[in-house]
Chain A
Amino acid sequence: DIMMTQTPLSLSVTPGQPASISCKSSQSLLHSDGKTYLYWYLQKPGQSPQLLIYEVSRRFSGVPDRFSGSGSGTDFTLKISRVEAEDVGVYFCMQGIHLRTFGQGTKVEIK
């Protein structure tokens, strides 16, 4: 089974400042088809999760460009260039190369 490890588990950020979340997988997420099956989701308070980033760095429809994803193989990062109040919630990474596994989640709050 593929394990996903996120750090940190919580983050307090001043509005307008950047934020970064790390996600590490226990196995490479690079498939033989050339795609890397790593995704990022945000679950806002009281809501269902929503897709932010797919295949490491591709922003999903409607996602603001202050969100960016990077990484390769087993190490990945989600960055928010300038955190806004509406970005609070829990961020999850997920692997999709073998079944599906989520990271533990990173709770982001505003200072």
Chain B
Amino acid sequence: EVQLVESGGGLVQPGGSLRLSCAASGFTFSTSWMSWVRQAPGKGLEWVANIKEDGSAKFYVDSVKGRFTISRDNAKNSLYLQMNSLRVEDTAVYYCARDLAALVCWGQGTLVTVSS
């Protein structure tokens, strides 16, 4: 069974940092692009970033460029999102997803709250 489990969310002050993790199982992680997608409370979906199978290519939505870094560890079947200089508007549930152009499998999400 394909499974994605996010962790690392929590409450952080504006300007702070947080690192999200996503543990993957049930598929060959090292041969799959991966994405992060977020959803602010009561709002729609916003794609955040994705990363190529070997980590050699990374892409970001403009609003997080220079602040967020996506990475992966194929030996650990894990995806990460390092979030720095967090803003109130980054408050959202963050989902990781297996990205085959279609986002074919999603985790349950982890909530990040940026507030003073």
Top 3 nearest A-B pairs (CB, nearest first) are A100-B47, A54-B102, A48-B106
Indicate whether A39 sits within 8 Å of B103 (C-beta atoms), given known contacts A48-B108, A99-B59.
yes
Q: A55 vs B47: C-alpha distance in the bound complex, in angstroms?
A: 18
For residue A10, which residues in chain B have a CB less than 8 angstroms away from its CB?
A: none
Taking Cβ atoms with an 8 Å cutoff, the residues of A that contact B are 1, 37, 39, 41, 43, 48-51, 54-55, 60, 90, 92, 94, 96, 99-105
Interface centre among B47, B99, B103, B106 (most CB of A within 10 A): B103
Please list the residues of chain B having a beta carbon within 8 angstroms of any beta carbon in chain A.
35, 37, 44-47, 50, 59, 61-62, 95, 99, 101-109
User: B35 contacts which chain A residues (CB < 8 A)?
Assistant: 100
Contact yes or no, B102 A96, CB < 8 A? yes
Residues of B within 8 A of A90 (CB): 44
- Which of B37, B46, B106, B109 is within 8 Å of A50, CB to CB? B106
Contact yes or no, B101 A60, CB < 8 A:
no
Bound CA–CA A104/B46 (angstroms):
9
